[in-house]
Amino acid sequence: MTSPVVAAVRTRRVRVPLHTPFVTALRRTDFAETVVVTVEDSDGCVGWGEAPQVWKVTGDSLAGSAAALEGPISDALVGAAADLSSAGLVQAAVVGNRSAKMAADIALHDLVARRSGVSMAEHLDVLLVEPPEPLGGGVSKPTQLRTDMTLSIGTPADLAEAAAARAHEGFTTLKIKVGTDPAGDAERVLAVREAAPGCVLRLDANTGWRADEAVAVLTTLADKDVELEFVEQPVARRDLEGMAYVRRHQPYKILADESVFDLEDLVDVIRAGAADAVNIKLAKCGGITPAIELLEVARSHGLGRLVGCMMESHLGIGAAAALVAALGIPGEQDLDAGWWAKSSPYAGGIGYDGPCILFPDAPGLGIEGVLA
């Protein structure tokens, strides 16, 4: 019997309105904009992926991702084996364009999972040579995963109101966006602590502080006995010396995000002693395949691991959540992007119930079509 090959790579732009503006030190947006890709094999089976537009972090645009997917990535895949032996072709097809690579890589994984009749998490669990634990602690198919909730940049009063509302909805871990106003950031964090006293707090400066500003803000918070799980990307992406300085001169754990796109970046962070943990995102590294390598290298070097997301749709979140489930990464992840959408743009796929991401009872990612 002839093995199936990739027959077609197709793209479609999708714009997902948000119910609340998303604001960080790097940008403000009212939409999640993405390129949805389908990879169809010669038997008619289809896998789904997405390439979110992230101008301010990865530099990827809708036009650029569509061009990469319709051009060199399609050229590399069409006629190639419709399985994971072709994942390397995606990464080698074009320099950069990690969102486009993410889309094609996820689609290949989804295609293989669908052909096997298993969920994405089950498919990934089989791929892992030595997973820390059996999938879901012995459960063959996970049903849900918990995420934190991001609090957009705002005034102390705005943040307090949002924190109280999210805590009421069942979120137990809040990530506070800071970094635009070092003089007022401590006040913002204190307002959130008062409004949601039972919640675990995380900070994310999105490269917004200088090293001295970060140390000043964090020392102030420590002096006021504020408990923080970690502080994410306090300084500029390439300022590993500054991040290491921050790590040494205040008591909180430092999480690297924008500083880690690929394996070379991760090695640089480890050598510099710049972080205690790392946030791996599929759009930064180029998909599930490279993310597995990054997460395993981080684990082997004693770094904490978090799987996060850009402002992307339920499709990309579903892939990232399945990866977390397969690897057995503990703790609440950073996968709240789909919560901000007014509704899912897909038939099928994951859903949200407060802080819980609900896995579909379907093969692969469970996406059956685009609704709008």
Whose CA is closest to 329, among 172, 107, 124, 79?
124
Determine whether 281 is an active site residue. Answer: yes
| Closest of 133, 113, 20 to residue 318, by C-alpha | 113
Amino acid making up residue 62: L
Catalytic choice (56, 177, 224, 284): 177
Assess contact for 215 and 246: CB atoms under 8 A.
yes
Q: Single out the catalytic residue among 101, 175, 281, 284.
A: 281
Residue 56 is among the residues annotated as catalytic for this protein: no
**End-to-end CA distance of the chain, in Å?**
38
Catalytic residues: 177, 281
